[in-house]
Amino acid sequence: MSSVTKHDLEDYEVEEANLAMIFDRYKDKFTTLPKEKGWMTQDLYKYQGFWNQSRNVVSVETVMATQDTFQARPTDIYLATLPKSGTTWLKALVFATVNRNMYKNKPLSTHPLQTSNPHNCLPFVECEVLRTSPTYVEAHSPRLFATHIPYTSLPQSILDSGCRIVYMSRNPKDVLVSLFHFANKLRGKFSDLLTLEEAFDMFTRGVIPNGPYWDHVKGYYKAGLEQPTRIMFLTYEDMKMDTAKCLSRLAKFLGCPFTKEEEAKGMVEEIVNLCGFENLSEVNKHGTLSIGIPNQAFFREGKVGDWQNHLTTEMGRTLDRITKQKFHGLDLIQ
């Protein structure tokens, strides 16, 4: 397995210690922030206009540390999403595409995505501050990172570096339903389950990890309009409708377009299948991430429109109304 996914027990111990130090360093700064009940963590804190988890690897504390210390490079690639908008899928697609030459002459069964969760293959930039020896980072160029940080809170060095950013958005009703199920899978550990009504109320008030939903999407969308060569805006729905076409566009944007020869050999379809819901959900049936989340929690239905099986018609209408109002004047309604 590549060094990308190799992570020793010793590394985790160092990261745990670094995380504890970061929690301690920022505790006075975040405890005064506005607070609301959380989804996957006890509380959410409002920082720079967005709700953040705390005491977690992707949290208000690690965002603050990332803003203070992270150094971006012009060649970096960042995959930005709101949780439950297709992060895992996008990580897999970009990892497989950008690193395709590294694995092309090896048996498919040895590809990291056939043995490991995409979250282990492509890290969140929020977690990079925990690493004392950034092995992943140094071993690969371009460096690939994911992030849930809203555009306006990105570390200045990312904004200044001129690096590329890919944003994936998903329709809010499916994000709500996906988040509701995910949160309840994890909540058993520390609290009662959320009811759908409660989740709906929190979502419509904007109180979700890294939300409000609409502000997060709008931030990247507008930045993408201003800087189209730097920021690519994708939707989960378009990606679902024609994955091969979207992936080809994505590869071009990332500076590694598929060649005619690769296309003729079926490379695009190979990556689409490798990263498809069917394959990844099978690979990730067992095991957990180092932070204790079961791998299978990231693979539920993988469909467009599943909200119809969960939300009431009235809930759907309310969300549509809010979305129409918040995205007024933008070509963003699905």
Among 94, 125, 275, 319, binds ligand PAP (CB under 6 A): 275
Task: Report the alpha-carbon distance of residue 334 to residue 331 in Å, rounded.
Answer: 9
Which residues, 6 or more positions from 42, have their beta carbon under 8 angstroms from its beta carbon?
A: 54, 55, 190, 191
Among 44, 54, 78, 84, binds ligand PAP (CB under 6 A): 84
Among 30, 52, 83, 221, binds ligand PAP (CB under 6 A): 83
Q: Which of 111, 148, 216, 310 is catalytic?
A: 148
Closest by CA position to 209, among listed 87, 28, 75, 68: 87
Judged by CB under 6 A, the stretch of 3-11, 215-223, 253-261, 301-309 that binds ligand PAP is 301-309
Q: What number of chain residues touch ligand PAP (CB under 6 A)?
A: 21
148 is catalytic: yes
Q: Are 94 and 184 in contact (CB under 8 A)?
A: no
Interface mask toward ligand PAP for 223-262; x: CB under 6 A:
----------------------------------------
- Select 122 or 163, whichever has its Cβ closest to ligand PAP: 122
| SS3 assignment, position 334 | coil
Cα dist from 284 to 10, 88, 110, 229, 294, whole Å: 24, 11, 15, 34, 9
Q: Are 184 and 178 in contact (CB under 8 A)?
A: no
Among 36, 198, 263, 301, binds ligand PAP (CB under 6 A): 301
Task: Report the alpha-carbon distance of residue 275 to residue 323 in Å, rounded.
Answer: 30
Asked if 6 interacts with ligand PAP (CB under 6 A), we say no
Among 171, 271, 302, 326, binds ligand PAP (CB under 6 A): 302
Asked if 15 interacts with ligand PAP (CB under 6 A), we say no
Judged by CB under 6 A, the stretch of 183-191, 198-206, 276-284, 319-327 that binds ligand PAP is 276-284
- Select 276 or 316, whichever has its Cβ closest to ligand PAP: 276
The bridge status of strand 164-169 relative to strand 144-147 is unpaired
Closest by CA position to 209, among listed 54, 5, 29, 34: 54
Round the CA-based radius of gyration of the chain to a whole number and report it. Answer: 19
| Enzyme catalytic residues | 148
- Which residues of the chain form contacts with ligand PAP (CB under 6 A)? 81, 83-89, 174, 178, 181, 275-277, 280, 298-302, 306
